[in-house]
Structure 1
């Protein structure tokens, strides 16, 4: 298996997707409404992006801001529609009021996805007990990635946690098998310590958009990250 690090970029539309692919992204996370921190994109948007690029797409399943599920039936319906449209990879994660994983919701979505690979997203950074969450989710089909900054405040604060979890993964501790995808306030100067610890996957959103979220993804910005994660 290649040791090349994975670079995942957030895409809101086909223009973003093409730019990110041109810049060297390995994979896209598809969302809409970044004001709500990323919600499920319309099925039509997925179809346009799928037609525009050849790299893997992970589609967000999230109906409202925050980490409670909201309308689970609507979310299941969204997942079903996206699957019918050809979506094969997903991103989701829900917590209950106590900060534990919402296993009922997660298991219902996993059943709907029928073995598709998926990322448990930054809900882990709001969990009451990260280690317990990992162990509770460890046997769920398809779970191959955790998107995490190590802290709700971002990678700056979360770096010690990320390095400790990378070490736990190296030791083969239960619950640490899925790949750690680091994102959330990630900067280029964080990369050397993360790479040295064995982290091999990185996620950027705003860092790919010099003009901010109102502007498009810049292939040049993505290329800068591609070169840095490969260094």
Structure 2
């Protein structure tokens, strides 16, 4: 089954995590506060989720809504604390006011991550120049994934970009895996799979009753079965 598509699901707590794993998720993205689009969870939340499931967990490193890094000292401290708790995969991504990657913030964080694998998240969809961003980040240790919708407004608008980037897989700057998420729907999957995309990220789609309700194993299972079909 090593060639099966990866399904990553957002989890806010252990209940979500157990439900997502039961539905067939391969990996979880751990966040808190979806009203701010997903911020760093507490160490306690990480520890409870880690104890509840045995699939990989990618932990968000983000202090505030938007794509500015904010207080990098605090971010570094939170990352270090999560590393001490056993976190070994992360999600991050920061831009300058001009829309360039904030290399100072990113490099300070990945120094603490010390070789852990990480995803550069949808900040790429707000970047001034996607290709330039990828080339600037290309040599950073641990970067193995870009979470992207192809456009700031979501997958509907980003499909041409996603397909073009999938076609460049393996080129300099395009070695990290494309993890598609952000307004992703089941009807997008055939076109993306045909283009060679093999990793998908869902949040709201796993929660038919909204963000105040837990992840639905049945909703996750629908995605798992669609990807395995």
Residue 10 (structure 1) aligns with: 10
Aligned to 1:74: 74
- How many residue pairs get matched? 229
2:87 corresponds to: 87
Per the alignment, in what secondary structure is the counterpart of residue 10 of structure 2? strand
Corresponding residue of 1:40: 40
Aligned to 1:163: 163
For 1:47-62, list aligned pairs within 5 A: 47-62=47-62
TM-score, reference length from structure 1: 0.98
Q: Name the residue aligned to 2:194.
A: 196
**What TM-score, normalized to structure 2?**
0.99
For residues 212 and 159 of structure 2, the distance between their equivalents in structure 1, rounded to whole angstroms, comes to 29
Offset, 1:58: 0.1
- Residue among 192, 208, 212 paired with 2:210: 212
Q: 1:111 Cα shift?
A: 0.5
Give the 3-state SS of the residue equivalent to 1:147 in structure 2.
strand
- 2:114 paired residue number: 114
CA RMSD, 1 decimal: 0.7
**Matches of 1:36 and 1:6 in 2, distance apart?**
26
CA apart distance, 1:2: 1.5
> Deviation string for 1:184-208 (max 9, x for gaps)?
0000000000000100000000000
- What is the distance in 1 between the residues matched to 2:110 and 2:80? 11
Deviation, 1:15, is: 0.1
Q: 1:148 matched to which residue of 2?
A: 148
Runs of 4+ in 1 over 3 A off after TM superposition: none
Query: Can you give the 5+ residue segments of structure 2 that lack an aligned partner in the other structure?
Result: none
CA distance in 1, matches of 2:102, 2:96: 5
Alignment correspondent of 2:219: 221
Give 1:230 deviation, angstroms: 1.4
Give the SS at the match of 1:212: coil
For 1:223 and 1:6, how far apart are their aligned partners in 2? 13
